[in-house]
Amino acid sequence: MISIIIPTFGKPLYLDKAINSVLRQSFYELELIIVDDNNPNTEARKLTEELVDMYKKIDSRVVYLKHNHNQNAAIARNTGFSVAQGKYISFLDCDDEYMPDRLQKCFHAIENAHSSVGGVYTGCEFKRTGRTYRKYTGVADGKFIVETLACKFMFCTGSNIFVRKSVVDDLNGFDGAFLRHQDYEFLVRLFEKYSLIAIPELLVIKNNENFNLPNIEKQVAIKKQYLEKFKYIIDNLPEKDVDFIMHGNNIELAEMAMAQKKYNEANKFYMNARQYGGLTYREWFRRLVYPIYNILKYL
């Protein structure tokens, strides 16, 4: 009934927890498709093979696919989807986890929903170094295309995408040209046609360790690619929505630059954001705090 797809790359630091969180689900009728995007003959591939082979021996629901060279997470998800047998597709990043009854609750929420409902998302618990630092349950039903274009739709993580297989078919999967913003890109296209049902419970754990974050120059290119792809939507929105979208993307770039101690770049993006509606108190506060945090974390 449900196909869970885990793309994995790099050493399997959290993959064991991710796999366990699927196999211990209260909903049994599932298959777990793990797509290994590591290059062959690497230590990461060897370690991943050993771990997944162990699970394959004890649970026949585990399917293991290996790319013959590294591609990216979007293509890995599509590889998994191409063999998926489930009526529903649930994506899970290799460093995240499901709560034990997540799939059961998502299944019941969508099973009798109207065909205009494309999928389900839930509340999320954020962790770093094993400690919870935020819990979010303020999710709501609906379409959130403007919020997603602004990178402000609080769906928490790509591990929170549970959709009908027919929807992934209709959208032709993920866009493999995107190295980042893959989830946002997929959701914009989803919201053009479908809505999501929300379950306001903590059913996903996001282990937010911030591995392999791109530098600010690459992130600028990613934003350009993202906004240009959906220019046909943005150009037809009211001015206030366009301002909201541009403000959100500039703030995200500013905060990323601050985190990388590139303060001149950050100021440029903050100035851009101010042109689209100014800064909130929270954004001003974060702007002031980031340099202090960058100093304190090394003391």
Placement of tokens 């021996």 in the chain: 57
- Decide: helix, strand or coil at residue 9: coil
Q: Give CA torsion, residues 276, 280, 284, 289, to 10 deg.
A: -120
Q: Residue 255's closest CA among 221, 227, 295, 282?
A: 282
Q: What are phi and psi of 58, to 5 degrees?
A: -110, -10
Mean pLDDT of the chain: 93
Q: Give the tens place of pLDDT for each residue, 165-210.
A: 999 999 999 999 999 999 999 999 999 999 999 999 999 999 987 6
Structural domains in the chain plus CATH codes: 2-207 (3.90.550.10), 216-296 (no CATH)
Predicted pLDDT of residue 299 = 41
If one counts every other C-beta atom within 10 angstroms of the C-beta of residue 157, the result is 20
Q: What is the Cα–Cα distance from 55 to 72, expressed in whole angstroms?
A: 24
| Model confidence pLDDT, tens digit, residues 246-258 | 999 999 999 999 8
Q: Using DSSP, state whether 210 is helix, strand or coil.
A: coil
Report how far residue 218's alpha carbon sits from residue 238's, in angstroms, rounded to the nearest whole number. Answer: 29
Instruction: Fill in the DSSP letter of residue 159.
Output: G
Residue among 88, 16, 71 at smallest CA distance from 48: 16
Q: Tell whether the model's pLDDT for residue 214 goes beyond 90.
A: no
Q: Which SS3 state, helix, strand or coil, does residue 281 take?
A: helix
Percentage of the residues of the chain whose pLDDT score is greater than 90 = 84
pLDDT at residue number 212: 62
| Whether the Cβ atoms of residue 48 and residue 38 lie closer than 8 Å to each other | yes
Q: Which helix (H) or strand (E) holds 201?
A: strand 195-207
How far is 220 from 214, CA to CA, in rounded Å?
10
Residues 206-232 have a mean pLDDT of: 88
What is d(CA 4, CA 87) in angstroms, rounded to the nearest whole number?
A: 11
pLDDT one-digit tens code per residue, 143-154: 999 999 999 999
**How many residues would you count in the chain?**
299
Q: Provide the residue type at 245 as one letter.
A: I
pLDDT for the residue 130: 85
pLDDT for residue 298 = 41
Number of helices followed by number of strands (H, E) in the chain: 12, 9
For residue 161, name the pLDDT band (cuts at 50, 70, 90): very high
Confirm if 97 and 164 have CB atoms less than 8 A apart: no
